[in-house]
Every structure is written in C-alpha cells, then in structure tokens.
C-alpha cells in the first residue's frame, strides 16, 4: 500500500514538474536526459542484484543515491556513487567539433567511484569501488548525430543569411555606408531593433525562438531514447574493516558488456553480460586461520523497456552461474523510471531472486530498490 502511495506521489510530482517546464527550459534549454545514469562503481557495490549495466548518456558528472526509502521512511543513503568524464572536463574550454568527431570514445570515457557500508558479523565494513567505461556505439547521442547537426546547421545558415539580408536593407534604407554603420553605436542598436521587428514580421521561423529549438530537442528525445548502444565497462571493489586505505583488501573485479537496440518506437531491448572475479575469506577450522580463495561468476541478462523517455517501465530476467558452489541462480526484476525534472530521475524496482535453483535447499527472496539519480 505504501509503495502504491509513493508511486502515486511520484506521478503527481512529475506532473507538477511538467507544469513548471517553461522556467526549467529557459535555464537548461538544450539538455537531453535520456537514460538514467548507471555506473560500474555503483553496480559492483552490489546494492542491487541485477548485473546488467545499462548504457547511459555521457555527463561530466552524475551521482547515484540508492535506497533512500526503506519502506516506511525516507532515510540517509548508506551508499553513494559518482561518475565523471575526465577528458570532457579537461578539454572543456578548448574542444573543437572535428576533434570530438575523430575520437568520440575518448570523450565518452568515464570513471566512477562509489562507497558503501555493510555489516558483516557485527563488523561495519567499508566498501570502495572504482570503475571505468567506454561507449563504443551510441546512436542516440545528440552531440555526435551528424544528421541532427546538419538539420541545425541549415537552420542557422538560413537565419544568418536572413540577418545579413536585413543588414543590407537597413543600410540602404538609412542611406549610410558600412563604414558609417560600424563606427556608430546608435546605428548598431537601431539595427538590432530593426532585426527584431523584421523577424517578428517574417514568415520564416526564427530558430532563436525558444519553442522552435525545444521542438527539435523534444522530437530528438522522443525518437532517439531507445537507439542502438554498446557499452563496455570494468570495476574494482575493495573492502576494509575500518576506513583506513591501507587495510583495503581486494574483493571483486567485474566487467560488463551491454548492447541495447530499439524494439518498435516505444521499446528497447538490452542484453547484458557480466563476468566477476571474487575474492572470499573462510575460516580454516584446522589451523583456525582465515584462508583466501577465489571464484568467478558469469551472468547473462535481458531487459525490456517500454514507454517514453520520461516515463517507462521495464521487465528483466537474468541467469547467473556462481563458481562458489557451482550454483545456478535466477532473477526476475520489474520497475519504472521517471524523469521528474531535467537531470533528476527516480528509479523503483521490485524483484524475485532464486539462489541455487537446482538444489533442494534453494533460497528464494523478494527484494526492492528505490534510487535517486542526478546527471
């Protein structure tokens, strides 16, 4: 019941945010919020049993705060993860469009860092995670979409030509030369007003008007949120019984490969592969000492999304083999993603996990997740 109430609250919140759109559009008129941010460092922390690392947009900074609602109260999250695109940050002031086109993989390379706390046998362990990822295919990226850029370029060309035609007309109507024009601020101010007047009279759409640009952006979001994407990622997880760096012991190395493609206009299918190398400790009863051993896990997941860029639901199935006890594990997961405001996402999911399905003592459990994501 409480979950239903929260979902209703979120839908109301989303509609409130929608009604405030003109202001937010003025501020961030060209921001494209496609997929919610997912980060390798966040996934390896293990706050959610799904092993699919969803391809997401490149942002110079994105943050994930998982589990901020415990079923009855809003709580301080026990984990945080953030991701940065370092080359995008470094080249912020000097990047050129053709340089970006030559090495898009360099600018979409992202590193992430995450941390969380976990109680094991009454000891509060600190987890620290480091990750990196590269997007090899991203057909829904506005920055590298040449067809979309060409459309903008044509509109810009039309506008600049129209403005120059008005400039010639203005000089002739005033009977002045270009030399007179550039040496007199009054003429320049008068021309700007002349331009505004002419543009308001013109039948040619002026693309500097907010609605036209927003229309292009909105159409782009609608048509491209589910386009083909291929991400490859790696993350490392270390665990420490205290918060001291030198006491960190390696816990996991994990790699992901995820491919997404459109299924009709409103759907997307993701296929994800994850390989994880795990370090574990066990008490040796003969020597009464802790022994370290290693094992691997391999997961194959598939997830279907359906909806619009702002509001979509998903359903997911996953098979996982664990080398720890040669077990076969299954996961069913479903949920929803809501883009409540530009750059802010709410993700809710609920799932059913079956551990070691082939054995009589297999464990089955429900789980849920509720996270807030910023990009």
Partner 1 sequence: MVEKVKINPNGERVKIEISFTGLIVASYEYLLWEAQSNTVLETHQGNNQNPHDDDYLLPMPLANNIGRIIDVRTRFVGLDPDDLKKYEVKVEIFQPNSIRQVIDSGIVNGKSQFSQIYITIE
Footprint of partner 1 on this chain (CB under 8 A)? 28-31, 59-60, 85, 88-89, 92-98, 100, 142-143, 149-150, 152-157, 159-161, 163-164, 168, 171-172, 176-179, 182-183, 207-208, 210, 213, 343
The least CB distance from residue 215 to partner 1, in Å, is: 13
Nearer residue to partner 1 within complex by CB, 21 or 326: 21
Q: H-helix or E-strand containing 168? A: helix 146-174
d(CA 64, CA 80): 6
CA nearest to 296, candidates 274, 328, 273, 324: 324
User: 181 and 189 in contact (C-beta within 8 Å)?
Assistant: no
Shortest distance (Å) from residue 142 CB to partner 1: 6
Closer to partner 1 by CB, 211 or 326: give it.
Answer: 211
* Residue number with CB closer to partner 1 (18 or 150): 150
CB of 159 to partner 1, least distance (A): 5
Pick between residue 44 and residue 58 the one whose CB is nearest to partner 1.
58
Please report where in the chains the tokens 């469009």 appear, as a residue: 97
Tell the smallest beta-carbon distance from residue 92 to partner 1 (Å): 6
Q: Which is nearer to partner 1, 127 or 221 (CB)?
A: 221
Our CB check for partner 1 shows the closer of 146 and 246 to be 146
Q: Report the residue number, 153 or 296, with the smaller CB distance to partner 1.
A: 153
Backbone angles phi, psi at 295, to 5 degrees: -155, 170
Separation between Cα atoms, residue 326 and residue 295, nearest integer Å:
10
- Tell the smallest beta-carbon distance from residue 132 to partner 1 (Å): 18
Q: Which two tokens stand for residue 231?
A: 């991400």
Least Å from the CB of residue 320 to partner 1: 36
Query: Of the candidates 193, 294, 199, 190, which has an alpha carbon nearest to the alpha carbon of residue 252?
Result: 294
Q: CA 142, CA 149: separation in Å to the nearest integer?
A: 8
Q: How far apart are CA 250 and CA 40, in angstroms?
A: 16
Closest to partner 1 by CB, 88 or 233: 88
Phi, psi of 287 (to 5 degrees): -100, -10
The tokens of 58 are what?
A: 């490149």
Smallest gap from Cβ 246 to partner 1, in A, equals 35
Please return the burial class of 160, using the count of CB atoms within 10 Å of its CB with bins 0-12, 13-18 and 19+. exposed
> Nearest Cα to 6, choosing from 366, 308, 371, 374?
371
DSSP annotation of 139? T
Residue 345 beta carbon to partner 1: minimum distance, rounded to whole angstroms: 15
CB of 93 to partner 1, least distance (A): 5
Residue position matching structure tokens 């270009």:
178
Tokens matching residue 22? 């003109």
CB of 160 or CB of 245, closer to partner 1: 160
Look at the block and give the residue holding tokens 């782009």. 220
CB 42 within 8 A of CB 112: yes
Question: 265: part of which helix (H) or strand (E)?
Answer: none
């Amino acid at each position: 019941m409480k979950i239903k109430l929260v979902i209703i609250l979120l839908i109301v919140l989303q509609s409130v945010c929608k009604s405030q759109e003109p202001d937010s559009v003025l501020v961030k008129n060209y921001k494209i919020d496609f997929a919610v941010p997912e980060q390798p460092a966040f996934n390896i922390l293990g706050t959610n049993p799904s092993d699919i690392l969803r391809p997401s947009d490149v942002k110079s900074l994105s943050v994930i705060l998982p589990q901020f609602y415990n079923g009855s109260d809003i709580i301080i999250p026990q984990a945080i993860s953030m991701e940065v695109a370092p080359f995008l940050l470094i080249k912020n002031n000097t990047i050129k469009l053709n340089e970006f086109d030559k090495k898009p993989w360099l600018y979409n390379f992202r590193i992430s860092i995450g941390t969380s706390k976990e109680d094991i046998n009454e000891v509060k362990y600190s987890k620290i995670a480091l990750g990196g990822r590269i997007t090899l295919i991203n057909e829904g990226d506005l920055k590298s979409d040449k067809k979309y850029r060409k459309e903008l370029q044509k509109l810009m060309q039309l506008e600049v030509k129209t403005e120059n035609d008005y400039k010639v007309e203005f000089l002739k109507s005033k009977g002045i030369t270009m030399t007179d024009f550039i040496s007199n601020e009054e003429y320049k101010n008068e021309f700007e007003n002349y331009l505004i007047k002419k543009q308001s009279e013109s039948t040619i759409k002026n693309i500097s008007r907010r609605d036209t640009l927003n229309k292009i952006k909105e159409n782009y979001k609608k048509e491209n949120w589910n386009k083909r994407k291929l991400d490859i990622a790696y993350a490392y997880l270390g665990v420490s019984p205290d918060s001291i760096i030198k006491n960190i012991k390696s816990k996991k190395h994990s790699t992901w490969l995820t491919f997404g493609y459109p299924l009709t206009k409103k759907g997307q299918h993701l296929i994800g592969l994850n390989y994880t190398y795990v370090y574990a400790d066990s008490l040796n009863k003969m020597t009464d000492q802790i022994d370290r051993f290693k094992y691997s896990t391999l997961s194959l997941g598939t997830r279907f999304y359906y909806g619009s860029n702002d509001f979509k639901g998903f359903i997911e199935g996953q098979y996982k083999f664990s080398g720890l006890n040669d077990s076969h594990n299954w996961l069913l997961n479903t949920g929803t993603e809501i883009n409540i405001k530009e750059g802010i996402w709410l993700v809710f999911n609920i799932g059913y996990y079956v551990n070691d399905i082939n054995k009589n003592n297999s464990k089955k459990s429900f789980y849920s997740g509720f996270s807030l994501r910023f990009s």
